[in-house]
Chain A
Amino acid sequence: GENVEQHPSTLSVQEGDSAVIKCTYSDSASNYFPWYKQELGKRPQLIIDIRSNVGEKKDQRIAVTLNKTAKHFSLHITETQPEDSAVYFCAAKFAGGTSYGKLTFGQGTILTVHP
């Protein structure tokens, strides 16, 4: 079945450093890859997404890259700030079979930014 693997499970950085979170997916027909940020006790919120016809997308300090051949995509956060501390989830929308509009989520990465 569909599978999304996310690494690392925890990531600790100093303020101002960069953070990179990686995800791999199993279905080569997947075509939509969102990233969500979830602060403690809050709902997941979309921070950036990318579709399979694009290799990279940037939004200020956040960027996502997609390598369709290798079936992996990554979240890059530059100049990290303490308010970036949260759990980050990647997800993939699988295009085949009866998947319809379902997203499969990765296991999450706990990012801690130390002042």
Chain B
Amino acid sequence: NAGVTQTPKFRILKIGQSMTLQCTQDMNHNYMYWYRQDPGMGLKLIYYSVGAGITDKGEVPNGYNVSRSTTEDFPLRLELAAPSQTSVYFCASSYSIVATHDLDTQYFGPGTRLTVL
């Protein structure tokens, strides 16, 4: 298994541009997450999904959008990029029992380093 993969690894955007960060997992996990990690800081949840067709906001959703059309893919869309969105973005996935929300290990992708100038 490749686990959780993310593309691109690095990207520089100009203010006002848009882009989509791709995330794919091949572990048949139902839960998927997007986090951002600012330099020297912890992980903040942007959006998450408990299954295909279901998404919900995390702690810092403003300026981002997500969709979950398949179990494997969970793209993150940035519209009108701003310097405040300069960060490292991590996608993660886990298997959880939906009825009880019991969590199994959360696996992270390698991250996308985004700079907005």
With both beta carbons as reference points, the residue of chain B lying nearest to A31 in the complex is identified as B102
15 contacts between A and B (CB under 8 A): A34-B105, A45-B108, A46-B106, A46-B107, A89-B43, A93-B103, A99-B101, A100-B56, A103-B45, A103-B103, A105-B43, A106-B42, A107-B41, A107-B42, A108-B42
From DSSP, what is the main secondary structure of chain A's interface residues?
loop
Chain A interface category by residue count:
20 to 34
Q: Which residues of B are in contact with A by a Cβ distance under 8 Å?
A: 31, 33, 41-45, 48, 50, 56, 58, 90, 94, 96, 101-103, 105-111
As a 0/1 sequence over residues 1 to 44 of chain A, the CB contacts with chain B under 8 angstroms (1 = contact) are 00000000000000000000000000000011010000000111
Question: Which of A32, A43, A45, A89 contacts B103, CB < 8 Å?
Answer: A32
- Inter-chain contact B106/A43, CB cutoff 8 Å: no
A50-98 residues at the B interface, CB under 8 angstroms: 89, 93, 95, 98
- Inter-chain contact A101/B90, CB cutoff 8 Å: no
Q: Which residues of A are in contact with B by a Cβ distance under 8 Å?
A: 31-32, 34, 42-46, 49, 89, 93, 95, 98-108
Which A residues are CB-close (under 8 A) to B90? 43-44
Which A residues are CB-close (under 8 A) to B96? 101
With both beta carbons as reference points, the residue of chain A lying nearest to B32 in the complex is identified as A101
A73 smallest CB distance to B (angstroms): 15
Question: Which of B41, B48, B108 contacts A43, CB < 8 Å?
Answer: B108
